[in-house]
Every structure is written in C-alpha cells, then in structure tokens.
Chains A and B, each alone.
Chain A
Amino acid sequence: MIKVTDVSMKFNLGIEKNFSVKQAFIDILSRKKKEKSYFWALDEINFEVEKGEVIGFIGNNGAGKSTLLKIVAGVMKPTTGKVEIQGNICPMIELGAGFDYELTARENIYLNGAVLGYSREFIDGKFDEIVDFSELRDFLEVPVRNFSSGMIARLAFSIATIVDPEILIVDEILSVGDIAFQQKSENKMKSMITGGTTVLFVSHSIEQIKNLCNRVIWLEHGKIKKVGPAVEICEEYYKSQLG
C-alpha cells in the first residue's frame, strides 16, 4: 500500500531566501567560501504500511514527522530513496489554503474541491452533504471575505473531509469552530480514521495516538528510533520525555 524505501531528505541551510546584491558583493570581496551546511531532516527511513492500517508518528519537534508526511503526500521529493503508493491520497491540508476570499461559499466549494483533486461530478454529488455539515446553507451566496474565521474553518473542514480516500494523511486532529462544531468535527475525523482507510497520523497528543493507531513509528533526529504496537511505544516515548 505504502512503501517507503531508504528515504533521506537533505536541507541546505545555506539557502538564502533573501539573496541580495549587497550580500553577493560582500561574499565576493571577502572571498569567504560559503560554508555548505546541510541538515538531514530524514535519514534512511524505511517502513511499510498495509491497507487499512492506522500508523502514528511521534517524536519531538524537528524530528522529521511533517517532512516525512510531505514526502509521502508528494509535496516534496526526497533527496534519495523512493516512495511507492497505491491508492489515492487525501492530505488534510491546512484549512482554507485554497480559498479565494472574493468568491462566494458556493464558488469556493468548487474551487477548493478542485484543488483537493475532486472532480466536478463528485462535488455536484456531495454538495448538499458539504453544505449541511458546515451548517452554512444560508450563507452560500456570500463572499467568503465576509465570513468569520470560524465559518471559514467550518467550510474548509467540511470540504476536506467529504472524501473517502484510500490513504489519509492527518497532521493533528482538527477541531474547529464553536464547541458544538468542535465535537462534530473531531468525531468526523475519528470516524474517518477508524473507517477502514489507511491512515498516517501525526499528533502530539499521546492519548489520541494510543486510542486510534495500530502501530507507531517513533522518529528522532530524522531516524526511526522504534517501531511497534501503539500502546507500548507511546509509553516508552512518554517515559523518555519525562527523563
């Protein structure tokens, strides 16, 4: 289903986002050789995920969890190694990244759906479901720029979670909106995770990982430290964190 082989990811820390002519001149004049400083965000990662499995990833900040998920989702290409995937992937993208604030809610459902890779027929068929879940039927023709942030989050969440993907990538369980909607959105995500799809799940909540995952991969400094049953690994990780 998902097979990750020898995946390494090297970041060049020397990439200057703010390249300037001034800096270039200084570099030439001072004849200082630019130090190539690399950072291996991931180092020889190997794992396989079977169909229907729910895999959790734990580890400290900077351990490489999000980078790994980005590579699996195809957003980044690994420096070396390869990722083989069978089935369509749904990355739970940051809510509303594909919205255009000048467009109405209705138009944004189609736009954002297209960004997520849905077809027109699919969105047509699911349109009412999306609208009902978001509870925004009265605001369909209102430009999203007039929405409150909670309404935007609700709409985005409803669009993103309407699919039944074969592979779901979850970076933290989202609960958005007011308390009632938070409950609803959390339940929706949990039912997606436990609904038989393959899930890659990153969370800092050890409780959620324990409850939802079959297996856990513990990452540390870009390497797999341990793989095993969720409860066991989580407890070990928890203990190591407390020192």
Chain B
Amino acid sequence: MFLKNLYINFKKYSFLLQQLVSRDFKVKYKRSVLGIIWSLLYPILNMAVMALVFSNIFKFSTPGVNYLVYVLSGLIMFNYFSEASNLAMGSVVANFPLINKIYIPKYIFPLSKCLFVGINFLLTLIPLYVVIFATGTGVNIYHLVLPYAYICLFVFTLGMGLILSTVSVFLRDIFYIYGIVLTLWTYLTPIMYDISIISSKLQIILKCNPMYHYINFIRRIILYHEMPSGFTFAICGLSALIVLAIGLFVFKKKQDKFIYYV
C-alpha cells in the first residue's frame, strides 16, 4: 500500500523532483567564475592536499598501489556521503514555508538533495579516471561492476538523509551534533590510511562502518584489479537496504507531525 502510493506520488511529482535537482545545480554554479569546472577541480585539489599532508608529513603509504588513486577513490565516496547526508538533513526544515502552504510529498526534499549531489558525484568520476590513467593504474573489466557500489552508497545515504531530516524537525541540535559525528566518521573511515596500520581490535569496529565496505568494494576493483568477494557484495547491499528501510519507516511514521514543528 505504502509502496504503491509511493509510486503514484513519485510519478506525479517526478517533474518537481527534476526541477528541484536542476535548481540546486543552477544555483550552485551561478555566481562562480569557473562554474561546473569546480566539480572536477575540487576533488583533485582536495586529493592533492591530502596526499601532500599524509604521505609527506605522516609518511602514510599503501604498498603495492598508488597512493593518489587510493586517496581519491576514498575521498569521492566519502565526500558524496557527507555532502548529501548533510544537505538532506536540512532539506525538510529549509522547505517548511512550502510544506506549510501546499501538499508536497515530503520525502522529495531529501531525495532531491541525494540526487543532486549524485550528479556531482558522477562528475567527480572524471578526475578519478584521469588520475587512474595518469598514474598508470589502468582499468580492467571489473570496472563494469562499480555502479553496484555507487548504487549502494546512494541508497545508504538516502536512508541516512531520511533519518536525519526527520530528527532535524524535532531536534535542531542535530545540525551541530551531526557535524561532529561526521568528523569522527571521516577518521573512522580508511580514506587516507590503510586499514592494516591499525590494531586488529579497532579494525573490527571500522568494519562495522558501511562506508568502509563501499570504499573497499571500489578499491578492490580499481587498485587491486580483482573482483570483490561475495561477502563484500552482500554486506554492501544489505547495509544499504537496511538503512534505507529504517529511514523510510521513521520518515513515514513521523512525517504527518512535521507540520506542528514549523
């Protein structure tokens, strides 16, 4: 019943969704000189800074694979997650003036943010492949499986966005709390270091982090030229679906109450 309604709603409001995504896109680049080039430049510059700091100052390295590709592949995945979940979190509260005036399915706001950052994410794949080729890492047939990890990442992030946007309605403190959580999360995800450098106890904790598995999935393919294990496939898909299910449940249960907190 819920799913059927969701589908009907989705069909009716797909034009609005598209407008919201394109609005975000236009607004993002409207007043910058380089515009969309920033989407390509930003991850590269980010990677350069990270690589400079961590490989030269902290002497991090990843034996056998290129450190630049290692950092960038982790970075684009995690940046997608942190940016999309952050924007999705604030999207319902930001649209209160609309929600208070007209019926719009409310999930459309976090969804549009996740899609908008998703398009940006696809653009960051361009610099990723530039670095892959420039460093001589090269591609392989398994690259065709990569979209699986991207979809898992999207589904997971959407679930998180739904949970966070619901919480933000009732507890505005979440904007600050989540900022801190994200910082912690960044360090608990092996983006610029290899998981083998930390103690095996801590590794177990890190492996409870779905972001680790999505990043690990693409690194297996991009860096190590091998198919991810069946376990990795399963845990990526399952963690994403579970979080999305929780997100849908929480959001659906609470969405009629949003209006009282406008």
A19 to B104, CA, bound (A): 27
Q: Does A73 contact B103, Cβ atoms closer than 8 Å?
A: yes
Q: Does A97 contact B97, Cβ atoms closer than 8 Å?
A: yes
Q: Does B23 contact A107, Cβ atoms closer than 8 Å?
A: yes
B30 within 8 A of A: yes
Number of B positions contacting A (CB below 8 A): 26
B198 within 8 A of A: no
Q: Give residues of chain B (97-124) contacting chain A, Cβ–Cβ below 8 Å.
A: 97-104
Q: Does B261 contact A15, Cβ atoms closer than 8 Å?
A: yes
Partner of A91, one of B16, B101, B261: B101
Q: Given A91-B102, A93-B101, answer yes or no on A115-B16 (Cβ-Cβ < 8 Å).
A: yes
**Which residues of chain A come closer than 8 Å to B30, judged between CB atoms?**
102
A19 to B30, CA, bound (A): 37
Q: Given A12-B260, A15-B260, A19-B171, answer yes or no on A117-B99 (Cβ-Cβ < 8 Å).
A: no
Cβ of A222 to closest chain B Cβ, rounded Å: 17
A19 to B261, CA, bound (A): 11
A17, closest chain B residue (CB): B261
Q: Given A12-B260, A100-B27, A103-B26, answer yes or no on A75-B100 (Cβ-Cβ < 8 Å).
A: yes
What does the 1/0 interface line of A114-128 toward B look like (CB < 8 Å)?
Answer: 111111100000000
Cβ of A118 to closest chain B Cβ, rounded Å: 8
A77, closest chain B residue (CB): B256
Pairs across A and B, CB under 8 Å, 7 listed: A12-B260, A73-B102, A91-B103, A110-B19, A111-B23, A114-B18, A115-B104
A120 to B100, CA, bound (A): 24
Q: Give residues of chain B (10-39) contacting chain A, Cβ–Cβ below 8 Å.
A: 12-13, 15-16, 18-20, 23, 26-27, 30-31
A76 within 8 A of B: yes
B30, closest chain A residue (CB): A102
Q: Given A75-B259, A114-B16, answer yes or no on A93-B102 (Cβ-Cβ < 8 Å).
A: yes
**Which residues of chain B come closer than 8 Å to A94, judged between CB atoms?**
97, 101
Q: Given A15-B260, A115-B16, A119-B15, answer yes or no on A103-B23 (Cβ-Cβ < 8 Å).
A: yes
Cβ of A54 to closest chain B Cβ, rounded Å: 21
A59 to B16, CA, bound (A): 36
Most buried by B among A76, A94, A115, A116: A115
**Which residues of chain A come closer than 8 Å to B170, judged between CB atoms?**
19
A94 to B256, CA, bound (A): 21
A74 within 8 A of B: yes
Classify the secondary structure of B's interface with A.
helix
Chain B: residues with CB nearer than 8 A to chain A? 12-13, 15-16, 18-20, 23, 26-27, 30-31, 97-104, 170-171, 256, 259-261
Q: Give residues of chain A (1-54) contacting chain B, Cβ–Cβ below 8 Å.
A: 11-12, 15, 17, 19
**Which residues of chain B come closer than 8 Å to A15, judged between CB atoms?**
260-261
Q: Given A100-B23, A102-B30, answer yes or no on A75-B101 (Cβ-Cβ < 8 Å).
A: yes
Partner of A103, one of B13, B27, B97: B27
A81 within 8 A of B: no
A110 to B19, CA, bound (A): 7
A101 to B26, CA, bound (A): 12
**Which residues of chain A come closer than 8 Å to B12, judged between CB atoms?**
117
Extra 20 A-B pairs, beta carbons < 8 Å, given A98-B98, A100-B23, A102-B31? A11-B260, A12-B260, A15-B260, A73-B102, A75-B259, A91-B103, A102-B26, A102-B27, A102-B30, A103-B27, A107-B23, A107-B26, A111-B20, A114-B15, A114-B18, A114-B19, A115-B16, A117-B13, A119-B15, A120-B15
Cβ of A129 to closest chain B Cβ, rounded Å: 19
**Which residues of chain A come closer than 8 Å to B101, judged between CB atoms?**
75, 91, 93-94, 97
B24, closest chain A residue (CB): A100
**Which residues of chain B come closer than 8 Å to A12, judged between CB atoms?**
260
A136 to B163, CA, bound (A): 42
A21, closest chain B residue (CB): B173
Q: Give residues of chain A (110-150) contacting chain B, Cβ–Cβ below 8 Å.
A: 110-111, 114-120
B104, closest chain A residue (CB): A115
Q: Does A97 contact B259, Cβ atoms closer than 8 Å?
A: no
Q: Give residues of chain A (72-89) contacting chain B, Cβ–Cβ below 8 Å.
A: 73-77
